[in-house]
Amino acid sequence: MNSFFRYYSANIRYKAHVRERIVQQTGTNKNSVISRIAAQMWAEETPEVRAHFNKLTEEAFLEHRKLYPDFLWPSKSEKFKIAKQKAKAKQAALSLNTKTNITRQFAQPLTPKDENKLEFEFAAPMSARLNKQFDFESFKTGWTPARNDISFQAYINQSLLAANQ
């Protein structure tokens, strides 16, 4: 699939031409607002002005044809097919099948044996990662939001470090 620079259409050229004037008059730089105003101006423009921009587009088209004689524009269905293939390849490369991985991880109910033991992964000091199991009940009762002397994350880190020793 070729990915050459595509020439601008007449209304895109017109929008680029009037953009600075629209920005000065409206005081906004939002593309959605500018596009809407430029489209209204293009629809109300005289046939001579529209013919001028159509002529510029035709010249750009002929120049493009000279530079790239074998270039073919892909159909919409082909573009969507290529985009789907790229998305699937990216998803496979990252192995992010969220539907299966996340559901498998959280869909299984906890057994009574596992209710009090949960596995947590938190950032510890010095960017070390700790991955330990600890008693959830003592974790819940040991820290309350009213304790301002220690943050929640610091309490977790202290609990995990104490469990390591």
Q: Can you give the C-alpha Rg of the chain in angstroms?
A: 30
Cα–Cα distance for residue pair 140/97, rounded to 1 Å: 33
Would the pLDDT of 4 be above 90?
no
Q: How confident is the model at residue 133 (pLDDT cuts 50, 70, 90)?
A: very low
The closest alpha carbon to 120, from 112, 111, 130, 128, belongs to 130
Would the pLDDT of 1 be above 70?
no
DSSP H or E run through 134: strand 129-135
* pLDDT tens-digit readout, 89-125: 887 776 554 444 444 445 555 555 555 554 444 443 3
Would the pLDDT of 81 be above 50?
yes
DSSP H or E run through 119: strand 117-123
136: tokens are 């959830």
How far is residue 120 from each of residues 30, 98, 143, measured CA to CA in Å? 44, 20, 16
* pLDDT tens-digit readout, 7-25: 888 989 999 999 999 999 8
